[in-house]
Structure 1
Amino acid sequence: MRSASSHFSAPPVQYPVGRGLVLLWGLLALLGSGAAALLHWLLQGAGHSVVRLSVAIFFWLYAAGAVWHFWRHRVRGLLQWDGLQWRLEIDQRGRPAHSLEGALWVRLDLQNQLWVCLDVPDGRSTWLWLERQSAPDRWGDLRRAVYSRPRPDAPGAGEPAAARRTDA
């Protein structure tokens, strides 16, 4: 086994979380396409039943409300990698921030956007949408960090994430 080289280690990085115009536009496009499909369905004669029409409009309004709720309550803060572990400092708008520490997993990589999951040791997961435009000068460092392993001297660095978790 080769020894780890600091040359190949990801640098420490701090990256803002919570902005995300691409995510917003994607969600709005989904809502708009749902509205267009509903309108097409209604214009094709499916609107003769008041019950079907009411149910369809209710589900679209429910989806719109869910998108609005998601957008207003998404996680905002600062994601940090120190070479050993990931930490998320959550900004709670006027209240003291709290932090989560754990393992970060990439779930979707679109080159300029990342959808990641921060698994904390107590079993909770926090999903984050990261975009290059939030901090373009730090994007390369962030991408190196999300795909790097903790330094070998980190506690539990050789164990899989599932083995480091403790069940309550």
Structure 2
Amino acid sequence: MHNAPSVVYPLGRSRFQAGVLLGLWLSGVVVLILWWRSAPGWDWRLGLGLAAVVAAGAAAAWGWKNSPVGQLRWDGQVWSWESQGYQAGTAARELTVALDFQRILLLRLENHDHATLWLWADRRAMPERWLDLRRAVYSRRKVWPDATPFDISLPAAVDTAAASSSSRLSS
């Protein structure tokens, strides 16, 4: 199997994410309206429901507006994230696909400190590199011989097994 090509892909605010958030928020508004129409009168529970729907809408809008914007880079071995906050690029420990809708990917990028970034990748951002990104996301990371730890403790395990079997034979 060939390795995936190096790729740099721009990521930003997702219209798909905005649509999902808006749809969920509108569902909450519809439920609140139906509850208000079926309730005998206004009481504190309706006020609390209204406050919850308004707060959820504000939180969704704030979260979408502050979504990470930058570039995801794959060099053939390591993923890195480059944005205004991380201009030099931050090497990531692991990239996983959380959702795959063929034209849109929700990616989970974890760095060495276990901080997680959730990123939406959209084919419309750069259609000519979309398949390269998909190949890189789903490819196995190439393990270089010098990347493995020097002491993997396998010989020690073999020696103790040999020692225990030789002690059983001598007794």
Give yes or no for TM over 0.5: yes
Q: Secondary structure, in 3 states, of the residue corresponding to 2:89?
A: strand
User: What are the Cα deviations for residues 102-152 of structure 1, in whole angstroms up to 9, with x where unaligned?
Assistant: 111111111111111111111111111111111111111101100112223
More helix by share: 2
Aligned to 1:113: 104
- Give the alignment of 1:23-102 within 5 angstroms: 23-45=17-39, 48-92=41-85, 97-102=87-92
The structure with the larger Rg is 2
Distance 1:11 1:126 in 2: 23
- Inter-CA distance 41–152: structure 2 relative to 1 (3 Å threshold): same
Deviation at 1:91, TM superposition (A): 2.5
- Inter-CA distance 154–114: structure 2 relative to 1 (3 Å threshold): farther
Unaligned runs of 5+ in 1: 159-168
Q: Does 1:17 align with 2:11?
A: yes
CA RMSD, 1 decimal:
2.0
Unaligned runs of 5+ in 2: 150-171
Kindly, what percent of the aligned residue pairs are identical?
34
Distance 2:59 2:146 in 1: 40
Aligned to 1:124: 115
Distance 1:49 1:72 in 2: 34
Is the contact between residue 116 and residue 127 of structure 1 (CA under 8 Å) also seen in structure 2? Answer: yes
Is the contact between residue 101 and residue 120 of structure 1 (CA under 8 Å) also seen in structure 2? Answer: yes
